[in-house]
Amino acid sequence: MQLAVNILVLASIYALISCGYVLIYRVSRVLTLAHGELMMLGAYGLYASASLFAGHPLIALAASALVALAVGFAVYGALMWRMTGESVLAAVLATIALGILLRGAMVLAFGTQTLHPLDMLGWTNYSIPLGGARISVASLALVLCNAAAYAGLFAFLRATRWGIRMRAAGQNPLLAAQRGIGLHGIYALAWGLATFTGGLAGMLLACDAGLESTLVTIGLKAFPAALVGGLDSLLGALVGALIIAGAEVLLIYYVDPLLSDVVPFIVLLAMLVVRPWGLFGSKEELDRV
Amino acid sequence: MSAPRSSGYFRTRYERDFALVDTRTQKASLAVFAVILAAYPFVAGPFALDLANQVLLASVGAVALMLLTGYAGQISLGHAGLLAAGAFTTGILFKELAAPFWVTLPASAAVGALLGLVFGLPSLRLRGLYLAVSTLALHFIVIYLGSEYETKRGFSTGVVIDPPQLFGRALSDARAWYFVLLGASIAAVLFSLNLLRARTGRAWRAIHGREAVAEALGISVPRAKLSAFVVSSTLTSVAGCLFAYYRGFVSVEAFSMFLTIQYVAMVIIGGMGSILGALLGSVFVVLFPYAIEAAMAALGLAEDLSGVVFAINYAAFGLAMILFLVFEPQGLVGLWRRAQNWFLLWPFRQKPLSGSK
């Protein structure tokens, strides 16, 4: 039972992070490798706003969520729009460079010791029993947030005007632009939403386990989840996260704890060999030989 | 893209077309450069010598990555994994069998070639992004195997390696290392230059340009791709072996993702599709942190910021990479070529045609 809860929590973490990869890839065909850093930036944003609005935890949460959204827009506005039309490698490298820049800047701004934003918000992390297993409040919040985020994204993409524009831009940018859709706005929105969900994941993770530089690794490990599910499918990201988290928790429990960093990538490799476009991805998207 | 050249120079014999160095100016400047390289270790202090050694060491790996990414057009994010494979082969053979240099070097090369084949197999089915991701996955697997070895054998901090024996004497002096590494670097450059103008190298450029056309011209695309991966990773693995001996210490911490990024940065900052670019890039990337440190010392901030030097390095490095990607996609070689052009054409100025690169 505890194993099942662990898998659920880890899967929620991966799913919440990997929907950022999927959003950006689906809309603008750019793979971002700075997502782990952006996620951490969201967590530091929470820390900063918690110390700014001490005593008003809800205001602090809202402020940090807004900051995460704004950071996403800023990343696109300052850097990524220059990469439209460049080669795949150039865009990926730009995100890598951005990641390094952010990592350095975050250490400069916040230092290297572990921070606990939850304490600063004035809340404590209880562990509550759940049918024979235990789950911390922050983890529960993470699972619920993940469900809410996915429900929101599905509704947004299906029903709202901007969501439909976003899908159109992802399907065929040229046609979308000819129909009068401003691609830069759509791309910026995708970056904003991705950073927002990633930042949310970072904040909740930081509330649960403390905020330190190893958070970046989790961001990178969530990437295989997106790819296993199919890089352009949100549903795929959800399923992929469940697969990766299941494999990771079970292998760590039954085989070797050292495996934890490598399991997602082994699953990823297996997937690339068998079905490179992922479980739910569209086949023709893959630039195949 | 060939180097700009003033008019009045004609090749009159076929041998001149094959020559790597053909004009008299080139020969003279190459000779001067060789003299400088040979004299350098006798002039430089120990710190400057160590820097030069690091640059030379990095240049081998950078040339290898340039062959793969810059010429054959295959993206790899597993370069640190390949370096680690070479270094760990050396370390394990040394620890377990006390193998000498003459065994570990070819063994590393063989492991590199094998891994190149494994790393290269996905490239037959995948392109672009997906290929980069699969090499990234292999990086993590190699690192996992390395750390597994470290913990299982009880070398949890890393494997210590004695300096290698060359011609009966231990190679521990920095000056001797300089010449060994210089030799390795020159060998790698000459090997690459010759390979690139031969059938293999031309096939690589062709598949970089467009695979379908290359295939129509009779080039076996799988063979060209696999050979690019194998040659590149063999060279990288040899660099890893030299790295292990030079540091005298092998540990998985040394082969993080950041190392891969540094090598990719060498190729990008140096300039894609140019061996000279790989060399310039390795000089830039290796010296960059020291330049930052020197700049901080010059500004009198060294004491205040001593705890966060690495963070400043990270931030500045990321910034430099972004600036190059955005403003000078052709890298240092592009700058160099433009400077040459400027001097050649002075007092006139060349305006590149719009749309040309």
What is the tens place of the pLDDT at every residue in B39-88?
998 988 889 999 999 999 999 999 999 999 889 988 888 899 999 999 99
At residue A289 the predicted structure's pLDDT band, cuts being 50, 70 and 90, is: very low
What one-character DSSP code corresponds to residue A258?
Answer: G
Q: What is the CATH architecture assignment of A2-288?
A: Orthogonal Bundle (1.10)
- pLDDT higher than 50, residue B265: yes
Tell me whether residues B325 and A262 touch, CB distance under 8 A. Answer: no
**pLDDT for the residue numbered A50:** 83
Would strands A133-136 and B169-170 be described as parallel, antiparallel, or unpaired? unpaired
In angstroms, the Cα distances linking A260 to A57, A254, B78 are: 34, 12, 19
- pLDDT higher than 60, residue B142: yes
Residue B262's closest chain A neighbor by CA? A97
3-class DSSP state of B170: strand
DSSP track, B54-112:
HHHHHHHHHHHHIIIIIIS----S-HHHHHHHHHHHHHHHHHHH---HHHHHHHHHHHH
A35/A18 Cα distance (integer angstroms): 9
Residue A278's closest chain B neighbor by CA? B130
What one-character DSSP code corresponds to residue A232?
Answer: T
Tell me whether residues B322 and A79 touch, CB distance under 8 A. Answer: yes
Tell me whether residues B144 and A258 touch, CB distance under 8 A. Answer: yes
Cβ neighbours of A223 in B, within 8 Å: 133
**pLDDT for the residue numbered A57:** 79
What is the overall mean pLDDT for chain B?
86
Tell me whether residues A100 and B315 touch, CB distance under 8 A. Answer: yes
**pLDDT for the residue numbered B350:** 67
B227/B206 Cα distance (integer angstroms): 14
**pLDDT for the residue numbered B353:** 63
- Read off the pLDDT of each residue in A141-168 and give the average, rounded to a whole number: 90
B275/B262 Cα distance (integer angstroms): 17
- The amino acid occupying position A41 is L
| Structure-block tokens of residue B271 | 């300039």
- pLDDT higher than 80, residue B178: yes
Tell me whether residues B321 and A289 touch, CB distance under 8 A. Answer: no
**pLDDT for the residue numbered A55:** 74
| 8 Å CB contact between B234 and B83 | no
| 8 Å CB contact between B123 and B135 | no
Tell me whether residues A97 and B311 touch, CB distance under 8 A. Answer: no
- pLDDT higher than 90, residue B129: no
User: What are the phi and psi torsion angles at B250 (to 5°)?
Assistant: -120, 130
- Read off the pLDDT of each residue in A92-111 and give the average, rounded to a whole number: 87
Tens digits of per-residue pLDDT, B195-228?
998 899 999 999 988 888 998 999 998 899 999 9
Cβ neighbours of B311 in A, within 8 Å: 103-105, 107-108
Cβ neighbours of B150 in A, within 8 Å: none
Cβ neighbours of A103 in B, within 8 Å: 311, 314-315, 318
| Structure-block tokens of residue B350 | 């060349």
Tens digits of per-residue pLDDT, B274-326?
899 999 999 999 999 899 888 888 887 766 666 677 788 888 889 998 898 88
B285/B279 Cα distance (integer angstroms): 10
**pLDDT for the residue numbered B168:** 67
**pLDDT for the residue numbered B354:** 61
Cα A250 from chain centroid (whole Å): 23
E strand intervals along B135-185:
159-160, 165-166, 169-170
- Indicate the domain borders of chain B: 43-254, 256-349
| 8 Å CB contact between A202 and A41 | yes
Residue for token pair 């045609």: B353
Q: Nearest by CB to B128, which of A88, A97, A220?
A: A88
Residue A95's closest chain B neighbor by CA? B322
Q: Nearest by CB to A89, which of B75, B125, B319?
A: B75
B263/B271 Cα distance (integer angstroms): 12
**pLDDT for the residue numbered B306:** 67
What is the overall mean pLDDT for chain A?
84
pLDDT > 70: percent of chain B? 93
- pLDDT higher than 60, residue A70: yes
| 8 Å CB contact between A246 and A39 | no
- Read off the pLDDT of each residue in B250-271 and give the average, rounded to a whole number: 88
- pLDDT higher than 90, residue A194: yes
| Structure-block tokens of residue A44 | 């530091």
Residue A112's closest chain B neighbor by CA? B308
Tell me whether residues B130 and A224 touch, CB distance under 8 A. Answer: no
Tell me whether residues B137 and A100 touch, CB distance under 8 A. Answer: no
- pLDDT higher than 50, residue A218: yes
A182/A165 Cα distance (integer angstroms): 9
Task: For CA atoms B188, B191, B193, B195, give the dihedral sign.
Answer: negative
- pLDDT higher than 80, residue A237: yes
Tens digits of per-residue pLDDT, B64-76?
999 998 899 888 8
**pLDDT for the residue numbered B1:** 40
Tell me whether residues B325 and A90 touch, CB distance under 8 A. Answer: yes
**pLDDT for the residue numbered A287:** 47
- pLDDT higher than 70, residue A284: no
Q: What is the ipTM of this complex?
A: 0.82
- pLDDT higher than 60, residue A286: no
> Model's pTM, two decimal places?
0.87
Cα A249 from chain centroid (whole Å): 19
- pLDDT higher than 90, residue B189: yes
Residue B75's closest chain A neighbor by CA? A89
